[in-house]
Amino acid sequence: MTSEEISEVIRASPRSLLLTSLSLLVTVRLCLWIQRYLRLHSPPGPFPWPIVGNAAQLGCAPHLYFTRMAKKYGNVFQIKLGSRTVVVLNGDVIRTALIKKGADFAGRPDFTSFRVVSNGKSMAFGNYSEQWKAHRKVAQSTVRAFTTINMKTKKTLESHVVSEVRELLYLFLEKSAEKKYFEPRSYLIISIANVMSAVCFGKRYSYTDSEFRTIVGRNDQFTKTVGAGSIVDVMPWLQYFPNPIKSIFINFKKLNAEFYDFIQNKVSEHRKTIKSSIIRDMTDAFIFAMNRKLTGPLGVFLDKERICPMITDIFGASQDTLSTALQWIILILVRFPDVQARLREEVDKVVDRSRLPTIEDQSQLPYVMAFLHEVMRYTSFIPVTIPHATTNNTTIEGYHIPKGTVVFINQWSVNHDPGRWMNPEVFNPLRFLDASGALDKDLSSNVLIFSMGKRRCIGEELSKIKLFLYTSLLAHQCLFSADPESPPKMDFEYGLSLKPKNFKITVTHRDTMDLLDSSVEKLLDGVKTEDRAG
């Protein structure tokens, strides 16, 4: 380097140093500005305490806390649970998020408990992806094909319900004769699970089968851990030293493993006897549907490892939700005897005493349908959906929500919004009937309990048919009364589903069991004829 060149570098250095410093300053300022902008544009919310955040404020009914916070901060607010930021959506904004920005809000959080369900291969608790979409599509079409796709499958479903209502009623009459007042919960769970077992596995279980009772009798423990606000998911470090949360989580892992084993055994039994010429039930259908590549640009592979998780999702989701719904239905019938009388009146007017109510009667029984919608609205027994997560950086109501944020969808806030429902805290099925006494379909579609958008429940149609059949058959056949010593209360235990606390009833028959007995006999004859034809 010549002396001239050296002096040139010396002259240029302060200039380039200045330029570098300036651009560094601008970058830092820009980063700070973006950070501040995003912070300012984060949803508002209550002050979070160190370590626990707002966990202690949730109390024993987080959906009520969320509804109170929405009044204070608006329909979009955020809380901290442990170290996780959770955005809570309420009221009308739920539709915007789940429908207009469906893909952005369709994820599931990376929660510890979600990884336990079906060894982390669950569709219901799994994250949003192309493969997930394909698996959900198969699950949805298979459920439909075996339950609601046409009148034939609906009638088969009806026959399972009629058989189970008969078994249930025999048992109720026996328990009422034995001790007058009894707790119906465990029998309702078995009854509902048996209908789904017939559809999934082609088999029903006796009420005394201890394995089946254990497998389906622990829904409450499952839903307490996967519901919004479950502590182990937001403070995962609690798993690493002895404490009550750790014990609950160990129990959760055990019951998941046992449930999964039960399903795996069913699938293995099916594999041994499956024939390509006949699909006997939903398990056969999944065995045939999986382990192939879907056509289309992405060519998604349907993984056969997902057969058991898929059946676990469907069997698990259906029996927990529907047995909870049935518990609420019976509790409300004894709590409001005038509503029970009106149901009976309508069913008797449309269906005489010489036959049982059927699916075809549904359109003629608007009060039954109004009653069911009011049970779903009033109890909102899935108050907050399975937790969601954002799949991208996104916005809602002008607030910035980063990718991977946990999102709680407060369905309760929609069903109890005084701006939408007159006296939302009053149980009144008549609100769903129009001036001519028909079901107001616009209003009934406003009840939010099956969620909406990409994660909407795949069992909605099936659930509505099953609940209609159970309700109309029970109203036609028997009377329920409460124990006067312990009048029924609407108290519940919180979890993914709100379950009524145990209550006691007694059941009396309206006529005899003849009609149910002869109907089931006819159904069995029909099955034998079909078998011979097959």
Min separation Cβ 194 and ligand HEM, Å: 14
Query: In 3-state terms, what secondary structure has residue 503?
Result: coil
Options 382, 401, 447, 507; binder of ligand HEM; rule CB under 6 A: 382
Rule CB under 6 A: is residue 457 a binding residue for ligand HEM? Answer: yes
> Per CB under 6 A, which region of 416-424, 453-461, 485-493, 498-506 contacts ligand HEM?
453-461
Min separation Cβ 300 and ligand HEM, Å: 16
Options 198, 339, 343, 386; binder of ligand HEM; rule CB under 6 A: 386
Options 385, 391, 410, 506; binder of ligand HEM; rule CB under 6 A: 385
Query: In 3-state terms, what secondary structure has residue 433?
Result: strand
Min separation Cβ 103 and ligand HEM, Å: 13
Between 159 and 497, name the residue whose CB sits nearer to ligand HEM: 497
Min separation Cβ 455 and ligand HEM, Å: 4
Strands 406-409 and 84-89: parallel
Query: In 3-state terms, what secondary structure has residue 411?
Result: helix
User: What token pair was written down for 525?
Assistant: 């004859």
Rule CB under 6 A: is residue 463 a binding residue for ligand HEM? Answer: yes
Min separation Cβ 162 and ligand HEM, Å: 18
Rule CB under 6 A: is residue 161 a binding residue for ligand HEM? Answer: no
Min separation Cβ 215 and ligand HEM, Å: 16
Options 157, 325, 326, 439; binder of ligand HEM; rule CB under 6 A: 325
Residue 344's CB is within 10 A of a number of other CB atoms, namely: 18
Strands 492-493 and 394-396: unpaired
> Per CB under 6 A, which region of 51-59, 333-341, 379-387, 482-490 contacts ligand HEM?
379-387
Rule CB under 6 A: is residue 189 a binding residue for ligand HEM? Answer: no
Q: CA angle, 432 as apex, 429 and 438 as ends, to 5°?
A: 115
Under 8 Å CB-to-CB from 38, ≥6 apart: which residues?
400, 402
Between 238 and 409, name the residue whose CB sits nearer to ligand HEM: 409
Residue closest to ligand HEM, measured at CB: 459
Residues 43, 87 contacting (CB under 8 angstroms): yes
Between 182 and 432, name the residue whose CB sits nearer to ligand HEM: 432
Number of shown-chain residues binding ligand HEM (CB under 6 A)? 24
The stretches of 202-230 forming alpha helices (DSSP H) are: 210-216, 219-226
Under 8 Å CB-to-CB from 304, ≥6 apart: which residues?
290, 291
Q: Which residues sit opposite 505 in a β-bridge? A: 182, 482
Min separation Cβ 265 and ligand HEM, Å: 20
Min separation Cβ 126 and ligand HEM, Å: 8
Options 313, 346, 361, 374; binder of ligand HEM; rule CB under 6 A: 313
The stretches of 127-179 forming alpha helices (DSSP H) are: 130-147, 151-179
Nearest-angstrom CA–CA distance, 274 and 459:
26
Torsion angles phi and psi, residue 412, rounded to 5: -55, -40
| CA nearest neighbour of 211 among 154, 148, 263, 275 | 263
Options 75, 318, 323, 415; binder of ligand HEM; rule CB under 6 A: 318
Rule CB under 6 A: is residue 459 a binding residue for ligand HEM? Answer: yes
User: What token pair was written down for 238?
Assistant: 């609690």
Nearest-angstrom CA–CA distance, 253 and 232:
12
| x-or-dash string of contact with ligand HEM, 126-145, rule CB under 6 A | ----------x--x---x--
Options 317, 330, 407, 505; binder of ligand HEM; rule CB under 6 A: 317
308 annotated among ligand-binding-site residues: no
Rule CB under 6 A: is residue 455 a binding residue for ligand HEM? Answer: yes
Tell me the HSE value of 225 on the side-chain side, using a 13 A CA sphere: 27
Between 312 and 477, name the residue whose CB sits nearer to ligand HEM: 312
Min separation Cβ 461 and ligand HEM, Å: 9
Residue 137's CB is within 10 A of a number of other CB atoms, namely: 14
Options 116, 117, 165, 314; binder of ligand HEM; rule CB under 6 A: 314
| CA nearest neighbour of 307 among 359, 274, 271, 257 | 271
Residues 459, 318 contacting (CB under 8 angstroms): yes
Supply the DSSP symbol for 182.
B
Options 81, 94, 124, 235; binder of ligand HEM; rule CB under 6 A: 124
Nearest-angstrom CA–CA distance, 300 and 517:
49
Nearest-angstrom CA–CA distance, 332 and 427:
9
Between 142 and 176, name the residue whose CB sits nearer to ligand HEM: 142
Nearest-angstrom CA–CA distance, 198 and 319:
12
Supply the DSSP symbol for 54.
T
Min separation Cβ 41 and ligand HEM, Å: 25
The annotated binding site for heme is made up of 457
Site for ligand HEM, rule CB under 6 A: 124, 136, 139, 143, 313-314, 317-318, 321-322, 325, 382, 385-386, 409, 449-451, 455, 457-459, 462-463
